[in-house]
């Protein structure tokens, strides 16, 4: 499917947030979703994934959640830089910025309304799930290896799972057994918490996958699992947002 993409500006509070927007070149309306960047920022790889969603028949937008910071994209080999950027944002601000991205989709004639999706990778997986818990417009969410969902990584910050009662979305989550950032115990706790709360969810666990297995720019890329997870993600969003 032919795609058109552009850099757009989204009003969030009194500020303007840059974002990458992609959609099918014609037809519609199409189901719409927000693609959330990794801890490394809104880089070319995330923009490519956003374009890939458009090629599958979605309106997809990826906001730059670090836009308030200078030098807000770092390389995959710069973990200190990624941690610095992650530490520059707070959850309430992220939820507001994600809400602004969803509002931008709501205003688009090419987007199906009122149900929207969220997906993200690494930090973006946590943000995608947290947004689903705190924004009722989100009806389907696919977090990929989101750390800190059930156990906070920062003092005084609630993990997203504590907002699970507000979750209106169906969940499809992916984790890897070789992921040093997310213990298997936390994956189990996540699955159990969703079940206890009575939320519809499927948690997919690949024992031989590492953190970042969806990213073909990282050494941890797993071509087999990434292909399968992508196909499942597309089918899932078409089912719940179509």
Choose the catalytic residue: 91, 179, 222, 225: 179
Which of 151, 95, 100 lies closest to 127, judged by CA? Answer: 95
Annotated active-site residue 179? The verdict is: yes
Q: Which of 122, 133, 210, 222 is catalytic?
A: 122
Residue with the two structure tokens 């520059």: 88
d(CA 52, CA 74): 22
- DSSP state at residue 196: H
Q: Which of 20, 104, 211, 225 is catalytic?
A: 211
Contact 102, 51 (CB under 8 A): no
| Catalytic residue list contains 215 | no
What sign does the dihedral 137-140-145-150 (CA atoms) show? Answer: positive
Active site residue 211: yes
- Sequence-distant (≥ 6) Cβ neighbours of residue 135 within 8 angstroms: 95, 98, 99, 102
Which residue numbers are catalytic?
Answer: 122, 179, 211
């Amino acid at each position: 499917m032919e795609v058109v993409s552009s850099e757009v500006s989204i009003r969030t509070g009194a500020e303007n947030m840059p974002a990458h927007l992609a959609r099918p070149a014609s037809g519609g309306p199409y189901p719409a979703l927000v693609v959330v960047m990794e801890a490394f920022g809104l880089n070319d790889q995330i923009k490519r994934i956003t374009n890939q969603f458009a090629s599958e028949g979605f309106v997809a937008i990826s906001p730059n959640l670090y836009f308030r910071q200078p030098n807000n994209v770092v390389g995959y080999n710069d973990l200190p830089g990624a941690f610095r950027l992650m530490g520059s944002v707070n959850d309430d601000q992220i939820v507001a910025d994600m809400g602004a991205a969803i509002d931008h989709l709501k205003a688009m004639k090419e987007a199906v309304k009122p149900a929207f999706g969220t997906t993200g990778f690494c930090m973006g997986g946590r943000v995608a799930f947290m947004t689903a818990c705190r924004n009722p417009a989100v009806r389907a969410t696919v977090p990929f290896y989101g750390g800190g969902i059930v156990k906070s990584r920062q003092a005084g910050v609630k993990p997203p799972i504590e907002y699970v009662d507000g979750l209106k979305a169906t969940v499809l989550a992916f984790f890897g057994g070789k992921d040093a950032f997310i213990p298997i115990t936390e994956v189990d706790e996540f699955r159990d918490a969703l079940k206890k709360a009575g939320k519809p969810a499927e948690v997919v666990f690949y024992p031989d996958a590492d953190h970042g297995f969806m990213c073909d720019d990282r050494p941890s890329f797993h071509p087999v699992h990434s292909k399968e997870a992508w196909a499942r993600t597309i089918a899932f969003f078409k089912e719940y947002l179509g």
